[in-house]
Chain A
Amino acid sequence: MTAYIIRRLILGVIVLLLVTMLVFLAMRLLPGDPLIIYISQSQVEMFSPERLAELRLEYGLDESLPMQYISWIGNILRGDMGKSIVLGQDVGYLISTRLPITIYFGAMSFIVSAFFGIIFGVICALRRGKWIDTVVTVLANIGITAPAFWVAILLMYLFSLTLHWLPTGGYVAPTESLGQSLRSAIMPVFCLSLFSVAALTRQTRSAMLEVVSQDYIRTAWSKGLRERKIILRHTIKNAMIPVITILGLQVGLIFGGSVLIETIFNIPGMGRLLAQSLFSHDYQIVQAGTLVVAVVVVLSNLAVDISYGWFDPRIRYG
């Protein structure tokens, strides 16, 4: 098992390195003067050629691409993620204030999705064909089709603007007021988890049905085991193996979704920061932000891979 984890870790590091290269290259593909990675377009137009040449030296743009990459990585590892072109603040600082908020909402959504998705899926599989299966399956099929941002608008229209039950968004730190915090989090979390709950319900249901038709379940019945034990001990653990894969994918999806949801609900998180930065051409933030998101995704995938080993002994003991 340890060997397996170490292998996964090394792979993770390699992947992260590749991500940094991709991000670096993507920035270099920008049309126009490479200086716009560091300063705004309007400044580029304003400054004299001498000033621009100075700046190029300052930002190391005269060096070869690999050198630039290495110094950039070096800076990041030292904690220097650059300075925001538009906001003037240290990028590292900006991210450190926004990231926890996104993780707050993201973690809640992830837990909600996992919990409800798996439970609904199991119930549907066990009550296959009965009305609850039909209803929940239909809802799940609809859940994966609804654009999260549209649902957000719909909910906001209903619950905030019309019924005035919930605030239109914003963020209240849980340390300030837990009640308020949760109240304003209801709609965003719902929107962020909608797709995942539906996808997990479908996948769990399908995995359970697949497992139930396996020979070893028939063996379990032939041993005289009772239904409850067969489900809890023999079926669910096997069914979780494919479900874990899907669960892992949700992390990336939730992050992606937070770009839109945070924008709509006015939540000061990473997602909104990235969206705004892309529009304001604040490439310093885009670079670092993408990297940070990738790190979180890779780490959570690692966690998923490791838990794979726990569920499936064939992976553990090769």
Chain B
Amino acid sequence: MQNNVANTVEPAAWSEIAPAQSEFRRVIRVFFGRKLAVVGFVLIAFLIITAIFAPWIAPYPPNDIDMNQTLAKPSAEHWLGTDNLGRDVLSRIIYGARTSLIIAFGATAMSVILGEVLGLIAAYFGGIVFQIIMRFIDALMAVPMLLIALIMASLLGGGVKNVILALGVGMVSVHARMMCAQALSVKQNDYILSARAMGMGDLRMMFQEIVPNAFPALVVVATVGLGAVILAEAGLSFLGVGVMPPYPAWGGMISDGYKYILSNPALALSPGVAIMLVVFGFNMMGDGLRDALDPRLRGIV
């Protein structure tokens, strides 16, 4: 702005120069101010606790076969009934939480690291590097995520590690795109020019200036991505390329239960409810984080 009447008529932001610590407090305050975000947080906390303390919470060991009690309907003894091998459904769901969490965090971590690095490099160096990386990402996006994961999981075989790999690759494009967009918009800013004028090197620039600014978007997308991975993993397990039996996986349980739906509907239906609750929790946390960290992301994320 220009020839205005002296500095005394500056905006009221003067009284609001916030130190970094109270910024954290503000985020916490806004986040927990939103009811739905709190609900999400509680659900996820519950999930994590269940996963960690599964052996203490579950009424039965998840792989205990009891051929006398196959496909029992829900009862006092077995709250959700049993499956075709007499295993307690509720316990399997509780242990399934472990599988879901490990895969969710594993795949997300992988896609975040790979994707963010790719996006950062593309945006930072621009030019031909940007084109190559972005076209590669476009190619990945041209094949539906589930299909990519399915192909990779089939090629590599099932099992937790391969599922994490497959889903991680499937989600890379989302993170790469997001990071690239964020980095590009940060690059526009003048403080990047001044940092460079001060002689700041490339790596430092990337990690000191760009990444912190992209952080809010990263966190939000990663949180929601956790939910997406769980849904995808369920799909993979349903088709039989996910976690291998006898490890309990929610998607696999639905696939088993599908055949026996008339005998014990709880077998097929309850894992779905579990999935929904978890994904809901992650989504609501994601929404809450977005509003708390940077509401401007509303339109983009």
Contact = CB atoms under 8 A, between A and B. Distances in A.
Tell whether A pairs with B. Answer: yes
A21 B140 CA distance: 11
A128 to B, nearest CB: 14
Given A29-B155, A206-B299, A210-B298, A147 B272 contact: yes
A239 to B, nearest CB: 10
Interface residues of B: mostly helix, strand, loop or mixed?
Answer: helix
Contacts of B150: 259, 274-275, 278
A107 B297 CA distance: 31
Interface residues of A: mostly helix, strand, loop or mixed?
Answer: helix
B48 interface: no
A264 B268 CA distance: 13
Contacts of B262: 157, 161
Interface string A269-291: 00000110011000000100010
A145 B235 contact: no
A297 B142 contact: yes
Interface residues of A, number: 50
Interface stretch (B18-26, B131-139, B190-198, B206-214): B131-139
Nearest to A278: B154
B275 A22 contact: no
Nearest to B230: A147
B268 A153 contact: yes
Contacts of B239: 259-260, 263, 275
B272 A146 contact: yes
Interface in B16-60: 36
B142 A147 contact: no
Contact of A26 (B155, B254, B258): B155
A297 B283 contact: no
A104 B59 CA distance: 47
A190 interface: no
Contacts of A144: 279, 283
Contact of B298 (A30, A142, A206, A279): A206
A5 to B, nearest CB: 17
A255 interface: yes
A152 B68 CA distance: 30
Interface of B: 36, 135-136, 138-147, 150-152, 154-155, 227, 231, 234-235, 238-241, 251, 254, 257-258, 261-262, 265, 268-269, 271-272, 275-277, 279-280, 283-284, 298-300
By Cβ-Cβ distance, the 10 closest A-B pairs, closest first, are A256-B144, A256-B146, A150-B272, A18-B139, A145-B279, A294-B142, A278-B154, A252-B144, A145-B276, A145-B280
Interface of A: 11, 14-16, 18-19, 21-22, 26, 29-31, 141-142, 144-147, 149-151, 153-154, 156-157, 161, 206-207, 210, 242, 252-253, 255-257, 259-260, 263-264, 274-275, 278-279, 286, 290, 293-294, 297-298, 301
5 contacts: A21-B139, A147-B276, A153-B254, A252-B142, A256-B144
Given A141-B284, A278-B241, 15 more contacts: A11-B135, A11-B138, A18-B135, A18-B139, A30-B155, A31-B155, A146-B272, A147-B231, A147-B275, A150-B271, A151-B272, A161-B261, A207-B299, A259-B146, A286-B151
